Structure 1
Amino acid sequence: MTGNDTSRLVAWAHEMRAVHGRLRAALRVAGESLEIDDLLLYCRGFCAALDGHHRAEDNTLFPAIEAAHPELAPVLRQLKQDHSMIAHLLGSLTAAVQRSADAEELRNHLEGVGAIMENHFRYEERRLLSVLETLNLTVTTEEAFGPL
């Protein structure tokens, strides 16, 4: 599916799973980098991708879900709080990258982000996938899930 596909009903649940899969893979690649220069580069890319994903959800996807399913407002608030916590962790990782921290410190940051991210993704999928299967949005996948 292309990022500009708004001409048909998008399989939003499938898109969420695919985006989460790409973010998991990006985290894995970053953590497995052997060269510090590669690790620094992959950390920057991972931070940008995850942050962009969460901003898209907060600004586009979650308001659309809440409009169609107001009963999910507490779930969406919790997910936004998770996004805020993850953004804080990404800020710490970004600061470590900017000061060219050593590989061990960067990997420790990645492990922390990864643990929280995985827990967040599982909760999000458990609570939203069934809703996404019937959600009809007139936005692009990039607008809903970020530039992944």
Structure 2
Amino acid sequence: MTERETTRLVAWSRELRQVHARLREALDLIRGAVADGRAGDPATRELLLFCHGFCTALDGHHRGEDRTLFPAIEAAHPELGPVLRKLTQDHSMIAHLLGGLQAAVGRAAPVAELDRHLEGVAAIMESHFRYEERQLLGVLATLALDAPPEEVLGPL
């Protein structure tokens, strides 16, 4: 195995952790905007922009995993099929929660309601990320997948 091939293999594990870290940071920004009361200011588009960007990034990340990463993992490790199905099911649940959050932001819901939506997204997202990392980081360190990172892990 060449140094370039080894670097590419190890990079999938590192890339996934970096994407998760950026998504966690984005969610923290949104929660900060709500906590600071900026969500209730009709003149402020900041929360709407944060939410749209975060929701788009998280959805894109999950679509990339469902479309490219998970099939590659399952081809190389069929025994992980049940894990991948659970992760895909999580993606669907998170997409539903994001839809609720976007609707609440779009109608300028009260801060308490926005906070409940964000709390739900944060709880499921964190649980999902931790499970995914426990189950897949070792596999990703050896996965031979020749694809652009943004196709596999989303446009982050």
Give the TM-score, by structure 1 length: 0.91
Name whichever structure is richer in helix by fraction: 2
Q: Secondary structure at the match of 2:144?
A: coil
1:27: which partner in 2? 27
The residue matched to 2:21 in structure 1 has which SS? helix
Q: Which has the larger radius of gyration?
A: 2
Aligned-residue offset at 1:16 = 0.4
Q: Tell me by how many angstroms 1:61 deviates.
A: 0.5
CA distance in 2, matches of 1:39, 1:95: 13
Unaligned runs of 5+ in 2: none
Is 17-26 or 104-113 further displaced after alignment?
104-113
Q: Which residue is equivalent to 1:85?
A: 93
- 2:16 counterpart of 1:16: yes
The equivalent of 1:60 in structure 2 is: 68
Work out whether residues 90 and 113 of structure 1, in 8 Å CA contact, stay in contact via their aligned partners in 2.
Answer: yes
Match of 2:105 in 1: 97
Q: What corresponds to 1:46 in structure 2?
A: 54
**What is the rounded CA distance, in whole Å, between the counterparts of 1:78 and 1:18 in structure 2?**
22
CA distance in 2, matches of 1:103, 1:39: 11
The CA deviation at 1:105 is 1.7
The answer for unaligned runs of 5 or more in structure 1 is 1-5
Which amino acid in the other structure matches residue 22 of structure 1?
R
> C-alpha deviations, 1:55-112, integer Å up to 9, x for none?
0100010001001111100100000000011111011111112212233322221111
Which of 100, 108, 128 is matched with 1:120 structurally?
A: 128
CA RMSD of the aligned region, Å? 1.4
Task: Tell me the number of residue pairs that the alignment of Structure 1 and Structure 2 aligns.
Answer: 142
Distance 1:107 1:43 in 2: 12
**Partners of 2:82 and 2:123 in 1: CA distance:** 23
Please tell me the residue identity of whatever aligns with 2:107.
R
Deviates more, 1:41-50 or 1:124-133: 41-50
